[in-house]
Structure 1
Amino acid sequence: MRRRLINSTLAVVLVVIAVFGVSLVIVETRTITNSAQERVDSEAVRLVSIVDSRLLGDEQVSGAILRDQVGPDRHARIELPGRAPIEIGARPKGDVIRATAKGEKGETVTVEEPRSSVTREVGRTLLIIAGVALLAVVAAVLLAVRQANRLTSPLTDLASTAERLGSGDPRPRHRRYGVPELDRVADVLDSSAERIARMLTAERRLAADASHQLRTPLTALSMRLEEITVTDDLDTVKEEATIALAQVERLTDVVERLLTNSRDPRTGSAVSFDLDEVIKQQLEEWRPAYRSAGRAIVSSGKRHLRAVGTPGAVAQVLAALIENSLMHGGGTVALRTRVTGNQAVVEVTDEGPGVPGDLGARIFERTISGRNSTGIGLAVARDLAEADGGRLEMLQTNPPVFGLFLSRTPLRKSLPEDGPETVR
């Protein structure tokens, strides 16, 4: 493309130079020729007037007197009646420019100038025109190269950006080139890069959340299946199988919930549910793991509470808090329920050392962990709680107390004719 731009620009300049250059040469040649003829005519008239004035004054007319009146490289012939012609200067050879003038006393003056002088002047003019044309060509080439670089370099850069996007590097370049069309393409590529970066971030976040959220239920399910394989008691097998099927259903709910949050974290399916049932299910699911660790998990507080939310999401939040206490806490883990205002609160606490002081409220940020863990669990738990209109907070650092706040009454939209949305 660069070569084509240079060649096309140079071709246009050459055509313009050819058209205007030939016209200028023709005009200058004619102008120089006419100017030389006018000079010769003027000199002939001037010599005639000088001769007339001397004849009228009965003065002598000779070549010595008139020699200074004839320009160099010119030849003058003065013919007087009854006298021999007077010649001044050398007679030119070849083609000449000639002018003749007659005086009042019958004298005739002929002035000749060699045409070679005109040719030399035309040649000098042609050299000047050729020099100007050469400078114009050089300037055109330089401008064409600069313009070609200005257009092709951004295109090369944009092609490199598109290639980086295709290879999985979605970082926007934010480079502009001062050409509106190219800047528009750069804007589109940067916007596409930002969208791709957001999509990749969402996919990586979904993969991390899924691996973290599915790890514990799968571990618990495998423990149930192991108990089934080592027992011969049919009742125990049925009981463990029933619990395993419930865990499979919760796994399905976890996957659906993660996919829903990946599309829109604000999307919820909040309903009114029995909070005791969710806590009981979590105690049954985690009690074997705590027994294996030589620890206990208990519940206390107000019973028969109903809360608003998604039971599966609330179960995942509690599971994240219970797992966090199992991994980082110590002693007995207690789940306490209470009521504050219009909210039901589930507090999860243990007898461990608590949250380090340098973490504080940052404990809910992704990749933030007091020990060698992923730092994802609490962040996902907070997102799940907020998706259903609740919230997850750290109420105390030592001993650690986490509180899950859930509304006790649902938010219902009034009919359109009743006006704006109201809380009941």
Structure 2
Amino acid sequence: MRRRLIQSTLAVVLVVIAVFGVSLVLVEARTIENSAKESVDSEAVRLIGIVESRMIGEERISREVLAQQIAPGRYALVRIPGAEPIVIGTRPTGQVISSRQTGEQGETVTVEESRSKVSREIGRTLLIILAVALLAVLAAVVLAVRQARRLGSPLTDLAETAERLGSGDPRPRHRRYGVPELDRVADVLDRSAERIARMLTAERRLAADASHQLRTPLTALSMRLEEIIATAEDEDAVKEEAAIALGQVERLTDVVQRLLTNARDPRTGSAVVFDIDDVIKQQVEEWRPAYRSAGRAITSAGKNRLRAVGTPGAVAQVLATLIENGLMHGSGTVAITTRVTGTQVVVEVTDEGQGVPPELGARVFERTVSGRNSTGIGLAVARDLAEADGGRLELLQQRPPVFALFLAREDQVTRGKGAEKR
């Protein structure tokens, strides 16, 4: 931007100098020539007047008397009937400016001046004009650089402010630059920063309050399930179901605690190295009864003994969301497959249904966007949970649907070679 400002300013100045400079040179050259011609004519008229007055008074006409009336460097020739011509100065060569006057008694006066003198005068004038033009260009450069700095630096600063807002730092800077338009943009950014700060504070407060309120009933439910396990020693089925429910409550408690921690300090992470097999196995066992009741199946396959970096509770929540979507909106068998790509562990969840409608595409992860009668929040929350620990959730294929959870892989796989899950 600075370069464009400087170039545009210089272009305007050069055009102005070119238009007015050429016109001024032409006018000055014409003025100098006319002035020289008028001066030569004036001397010729003066000389013819002196010669006539002396002839009328019968006075002596000499070269010494007439030479005093001629400017140095000029040539004059006086012709008087019946007398020798009077020559004053040296006759110039080349182009000359000449004036010839004739008196009433037949006398003539010719005055000549070399045009080179006029050319030198025009050259000096041209040099002066060029010097002034050069000073104007230098002044324009200085002013353009200062103006570019005055406008460029604030724009760079405003861009940094906008980038800072986009990165999650909503602190207003309260900087002004003395340019009304830029100050107006700065005011808008500061007001936006304050609104974003208030919204973030409200959201974090809401998350903290909701998490805090959920912890109490979850704790009470966990205690009741523990009592059921303790008192149902003879009922294996009840004991097993209670143990599964207790595991679900514990995972939900972990997610709530994680939300509460992020609400207090969003920079705090809880990622650890964990066995992805354990999370997948737990989810398959948890959802198998629901799929069996719907006359469907859920399977797992792929590379096992993989260790990933993340939060086990959050990963379980992401997989639960994908499995639930397969149960509610898909059909056929839901398959969970693990594989490795580069430095990442990939967990894919797919079913045999119609998949994601074409009009949704990548918007399936946006909040409130849903192709069925649902809230459209589940996948958005799952994506946020995946990204919180450095992973990502993507839709690799729309029909049949293939959702992929990418997690960072442990630096070295030390638990043996991979084998196919059955």
Alpha-carbon separation, structure 2, partners of 1:85 and 1:65: 14
Which residue of 2 is the match for residue 275 of structure 1? Answer: none
- Structure 2 CA distance, aligned partners of 1:233 and 1:66? 148
Equivalents in 2 of 1:117, 1:150: separation in Å? 49
**1:25-424 map, 5 Å:** 25-232=25-232
Instruction: Render the CA deviation track for 1:35-67: whole Å, top value 9, x for unaligned.
Output: 000000000111111112222222111112222
Say which is worse superposed, 218-227 or 129-138, in terms of deviation: 218-227
In structure 1, distance between residues paired with 2:104 and 2:53: 10
Using the aligned pairs only, state the percent identity. 76
Partner residue, 2:21: 21
2:212 partner amino acid? H
User: How many Å separate the matches in 2 of 1:221 and 1:43?
Assistant: 124
Larger Rg: 1
Which deviations, in whole Å up to 9, do the C-alpha atoms of 1:71-96 show, x marking residues without a partner?
10100111011011000111111111
AA paired with 1:49?
G
Equivalents in 2 of 1:136, 1:55: separation in Å?
Answer: 58
Distance 2:232 2:153 in 1: 77
Instruction: Give the Å deviation of 1:151.
Output: 2.2
> Does the residue aligned with 1:84 lie in a helix, a strand or coil?
coil
- Aligned AA for 2:169? D
Distance of 1:200 and 1:130 partners within structure 2: 63
Amino acid at match of 2:2: R
- Structure 2: where are the runs of 5+ without partners? 257-262, 264-422
1:285-304: per-residue Cα shift (whole Å, max 9, x none)? xxxxxxxxxxxxxxxxxxxx
Deviation at 1:232, TM superposition (A): 4.5
- Once residues 232 and 69 of structure 2 are traced to their aligned partners in structure 1, the CA distance between those partners, rounded to angstroms, is 145
Matched residue of 1:185: which SS?
helix
Q: 1:101 is paired with a residue of what secondary structure?
A: strand
Output the CA distance in 1 between the equivalents of 2:222 and 2:94. Answer: 120
CA distance in 2, matches of 1:65, 1:165: 93
Give the secondary structure class of the aligned counterpart of 1:69: coil
TM-score of the aligned structures, taking structure 2 as reference length: 0.54
* Residue type at the aligned position of 1:116: S
1:227 is aligned with what amino acid? E
Separation in 2, partners of 1:232, 1:50: 149
Question: Which segments of structure 1 move beyond 6 Å, counting only runs of 4 or more?
Answer: none
User: Is 210-219 or 28-37 further displaced after alignment?
Assistant: 210-219
CA distance in 2 between partners of 1:146 and 1:43 (Å): 55
Question: How many pairs are equivalent?
Answer: 244
Greater shift, 132-141 or 120-129, is seen at: 132-141
Cα separation, partners in 2 of 1:127 and 1:224, compared to 1, 3 Å: same
